[in-house]
A = this chain, B = another copy of it.
């Protein structure tokens, strides 16, 4: 239970429930779970190009010849890659920063995969780098910092902020509404 409680979203009650569940299962099943955890940890590392989770030195997306090299989408986390892949809209490559700049938590640019990104962009010279970073205070800092570093090499864009699709004007917070107004575009 102590070990299980260290997992995210598992409190004392869930830990007890999980532990009791495990005690009821046959030994072979428990061993399979334990083995899967060890194997995953052993085999999955970071892609040496984009820092996305990968079982190989270079990840599937970076190796895929059908994906274009002219656009790199910069995200904070591997979870963001997975979320963007689900949209099936983006056909370029990714770069995972591994976090956001947060001096309060002792995270400076050197703790993130920013230097590798600048090197990659200066060498590959893609046509566009899209910054897809959530607009928190730390996210904005990171967007501006990375943007300044990349501008000498390529066109730098950022994703749109505004009303979520299916969202109602009335339920949107004021900052989102202000951004939606500010970011308005001409109707085609």
Chain A interface residues (CB < 8 Å from chain B): 73, 75-77, 79-80, 83-84, 86-87, 89-90, 130-136, 143-144, 147, 151, 155-170, 172-187
Contacts and interface: CB of A to CB of B under 8 A. Distances in A.
A157 B177 contact: no
Contact of A163 (B135, B143, B156, B170): B135
A160 B179 contact: yes
Number of copies: 2
A83 B168 CA distance: 10
A182 B91 CA distance: 12
A131 B187 contact: yes
Q: Which of A75, A151, A158, A165: most chain B Cβ within 10 A?
A: A165
Q: Is the interface of A mostly helix, strand, loop or mixed?
A: mixed
A130 B173 contact: no
B76 A178 contact: no
Given A73-B181, A159-B184, A160-B162, 6 more contacts: A83-B169, A87-B175, A143-B187, A160-B182, A161-B162, A183-B185
25 contacts: A79-B169, A83-B172, A84-B181, A87-B177, A89-B178, A132-B180, A134-B166, A134-B167, A134-B168, A134-B169, A135-B163, A135-B167, A143-B187, A155-B186, A156-B186, A157-B185, A157-B187, A159-B180, A160-B162, A160-B163, A162-B162, A162-B183, A165-B175, A166-B173, A166-B176
